[in-house]
């Protein structure tokens, strides 16, 4: 993307902000529905000052991190196994695919029954969300590696295990990074769902609480923070992933790879 175009991305948000300010100033919407932007900034500053903001973000990020690590680890192990072995794939993949077609939120009552309403049910829900994209992308990345590259391993006397390590895994890395990134996206979605459905702290609780107590500025602040956190972690993961797959010969770098280039 040409440098000049990067600035274009902020045009629409700035316009929206101006419209928002105008609408609230003109009194077209009651402040109990949509507070003016300044009110939001004040709320944000207040929450930051009292330490509530740091606590909410910290708790939510902590839950997400746990769920992400557990889900990504499970997805990595099973994905690698099913990608590398046709037998494992035939044995396990149909079951995984069947489970995938269950809408993930439908698990919530079961997790709560089994694991209680506290942390483990939340972590499990997030992990389920993260698991599927990681599993699917890694499995197909490994299974679909170019036969021509595998033959290079064959003619050099590589065993199956060595071919997996030296050829299939590196070749699957780009797909794996894609899987981790969409897993992280789903992780944010599920952490907000888990906290909305029953939590006494965290960003999702701020959302729920703002609704219950009729304070839209708190809801908006929580939404903004979810967006910021999601974008930041995705950019960090994309930048880390881009370092790993710099060898790729792509016409268009994946979004976020730009972050790697010197300004």
Residues within the interface to another protein (CB under 8 A): 148-149, 151-152, 154-157, 166-167, 170-171, 173, 245-249
Closest approach, Cβ 247 to another protein, in A, equals 4
Q: Which is nearer to another protein, 231 or 243 (CB)?
A: 243
Closest approach, Cβ 166 to another protein, in A, equals 8
> Got the DSSP string for 237-253?
HHHHHHHHTTT---SSP
What is the CA angle 70-73-75, rounded to 5? 105
User: What is the distance between the alpha carbons of residues 176 and 251, in angstroms, rounded to a whole number?
Assistant: 19
Closest approach, Cβ 202 to another protein, in A, equals 40
Q: Which is nearer to another protein, 166 or 235 (CB)?
A: 166
Q: Which is nearer to another protein, 11 or 249 (CB)?
A: 249
Distances (CA, A) of 101 to 98, 143, 160, 216, 251: 5, 22, 33, 35, 34
Q: Which is nearer to another protein, 145 or 206 (CB)?
A: 145
User: What is the distance between the alpha carbons of residues 242 and 166, in angstroms, rounded to a whole number?
Assistant: 20
Closest approach, Cβ 242 to another protein, in A, equals 13
Stretch (H or E) spanning 201: none
Asked if 179 contacts 138 with a C-beta cutoff of 8 angstroms, the reply is yes
């Amino acid at each position: 993307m040409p440098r000049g175009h990067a600035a274009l991305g902020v045009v629409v948000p700035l316009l929206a902000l101006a419209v928002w300010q105008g609408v609230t100033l003109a009194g077209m919407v009651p402040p109990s529905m949509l507070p003016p932007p300044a009110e939001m900034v004040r709320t944000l500053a207040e929450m930051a000052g009292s330490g509530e903001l740091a606590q909410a973000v910290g708790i939510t990020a902590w839950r997400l991190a746990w769920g992400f690590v557990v889900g990504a680890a499970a997805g990595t192990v099973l994905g690698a196994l099913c990608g590398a072995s046709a037998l494992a794939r035939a044995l396990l993949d149909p079951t995984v695919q069947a489970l995938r077609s269950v809408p993930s939120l439908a698990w919530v009552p079961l997790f709560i029954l089994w694991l209680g309403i506290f942390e483990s049910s939340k972590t499990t829900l997030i992990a389920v969300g993260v698991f599927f994209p990681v599993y699917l992308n890694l499995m197909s990345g490994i299974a679909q590696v170019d036969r021509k590259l595998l033959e290079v391993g064959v003619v050099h006397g590589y065993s199956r295990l060595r071919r997996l390590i030296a050829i299939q895994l590196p070749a699957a890395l780009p797909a794996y990074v894609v899987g981790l990134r969409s897993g992280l996206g789903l992780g944010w979605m599920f952490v907000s769902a888990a906290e909305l459905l029953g939590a006494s702290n965290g960003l999702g609780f701020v959302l729920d609480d703002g609704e219950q107590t009729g304070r839209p500025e708190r809801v908006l602040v929580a939404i903004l923070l979810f967006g910021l956190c999601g974008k930041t972690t995705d950019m960090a993961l994309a930048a880390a992933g881009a370092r790993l797959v710099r060898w790729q010969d792509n016409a268009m770098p994946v979004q976020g790879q730009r972050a790697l280039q010197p300004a």
